[in-house]
Amino acid sequence: MRQTAAYAAFARLLIVALLFVIAFAEQATAQSKLKSGPSLSSLPCRKGDSFFTHMPTQLGALSAIVPLGNVNPAAHTLPTRHIYAYPKMATPGDVSTAITIPVRAPGRLEIVVIEFHPDSLDWSLHLKPCKDISLYFFHVQTLVPKIAAAVGNIADGGVKLTDFTAKPVSIMVTPGQLLGHAKIFDMGIHDFRKSPLPFVNPARYAVDFPKLFAAFPGLAADPIAQKLAKLIVPQALFNRCPIDYFRPKLRSVLEARLADYDGEPPASGKPLCYSHMQDVPGTAQGNWFSDINPNHDALFAEERAVALITWNVNPTVQLFSLNENVPGFTSGLLEAAAQPNDVNSAFEFPVREGPQRINRRFAEIKDDAIYCYDLVRVHRGGPRLEAVILIAVSDGPGGPRSKLTLELVKAAGCPAVKEPWTFSGQAATYYR
């Protein structure tokens, strides 16, 4: 009897041990799946754009997806090259009350770089389905434990780049796999298979890595930093709308959610996801830079740039994207209810159709005359600008219509400015 009991106890111990071994093996297998498998980042990309088969987040939890080309001066004075996923908000329109939503892998991907940003306490993930396409998520607040464990200590094998740390990794993820959680997150894609976007001066957006590293000699000799740079440095010439890379049915569902951040109005551009490239050659429309030298301006000089563009949600609306670095532009030119930081804003105005020189669409300005803009206010019903904006395009170092002159003049409206309109010594000059 005692012998039978002993055998039974031994059998129970053996079963527990076997279960432990099986559990350990399953955990090890799960970890190996995260870290092993063929390197997708080295494989050639197949033809076509239908790479993604799963939603990147819980669609029902979204307030809206904001199309390409959003502006948010001063850091995003130029139209942004990624879309934004805005969750529903406890108080509609108040982004501080946004709920937390999941961030998921939309397809079979390899995470190749993880960034940690201590100032915002969030993560950026760079993923590749193949060699010449890169997907990225910005502002992921937390990583799920499996991903965090595979990354390990971000400083171990990582490189500190300006105000964040980046680490090369090779983590395979499956379609629909949970990667982390976020409030508002960005989603973008580079596609190096396609021709560069037709900016007026592509040199503003091209990346010359030797020259880039010359500006950061402390990193130039670091092979990890050089590897990372080619994976994470923004390359606006090759950004496309990530929604275009989903299978047709999913793409249609995602496009239906394109709108401004609070869900209104729905997007009406063509295409609906719009574009961050708004340059129209020979006109005032597009991006303008204060520096004549084009090297890396789109990387480092947004705060010294302006953009004269159409709204990425409703392109019938024209916007000045301005910031506090515009000479002579202070909060004193805004109505009393304005906040000092309102100088960093997109400004709208009522468009006037026809041949007159007041409030014309930017793409219609094709001569060197001075044009005036009045009844200007912060976009979407914000404070009034108690000034007019004078602009003119003319020939510059970059060729015909490659120079923009812009000045803010305190006045009640364009008719109150004595004609002929002229610029003073306070006018700002920008270049393509």
**What domains does the chain contain, in order, with CATH numbers?**
59-255 (2.70.70.10), 286-431 (no CATH)
* Bridge partners, residue 87, by sequence: 62
Reply yes or no on whether the pLDDT at 24 is more than 70: no
Lowest-pLDDT choice from 130-144, 179-193, 214-228: 214-228
Confidence of residue 299 (pLDDT cuts 50, 70, 90): low
Burial of 25 (0-12, 13-18, 19+ CB in 10 A): exposed
DSSP category for residue 353? -
| Residue entry with tokens 């300005």 | 365
State residue 2's pLDDT score: 35
Report phi then psi at 394, rounded to 5. Answer: -150, 175
Tell me the per-residue pLDDT of 393-415, one tens digit each, with 9 for 90 and over.
Answer: 999 999 999 999 999 999 999 99
String of DSSP letters for 162-227? TTEEEEEEEEEE-TT-EEEEESSEEEEEEETTSPPP--S-GGGT---HHHHHHT-HHHHT-HHHHH
Tell me the per-residue pLDDT of 231-263, one tens digit each, with 9 for 90 and over.
Answer: 999 999 999 999 999 999 999 999 999 999 999
* Count of residues making up the chain: 432
Q: Please report, to the nearest 10 degrees, the dihedral formed by the alpha carbons of residues 214, 218, 220, 226 taken in order.
A: -120
Helix runs in 76-165, H state only = 145-151
> What are the distances in angstroms from CA 14 to CA 1, 3, 28?
20, 16, 21
Tell me the per-residue pLDDT of 149-172, one tens digit each, with 9 for 90 and over.
Answer: 999 999 999 999 889 999 999 999
Q: Which tokens go with 68?
A: 């390409």
Q: Which tokens go with 284?
A: 């005032």
Q: Which tokens go with 146?
A: 């499996």
Report which residue type is found at 102: P
- The model carries a pTM of 0.89
State residue 16's pLDDT score: 34
State the distance between the two ends of the chain, measured CA to CA, in whole angstroms.
94
To the nearest whole number, what is the mean pLDDT of the chain? 90
- Cα–Cα distance between 352 and 329 in angstroms, integer? 24
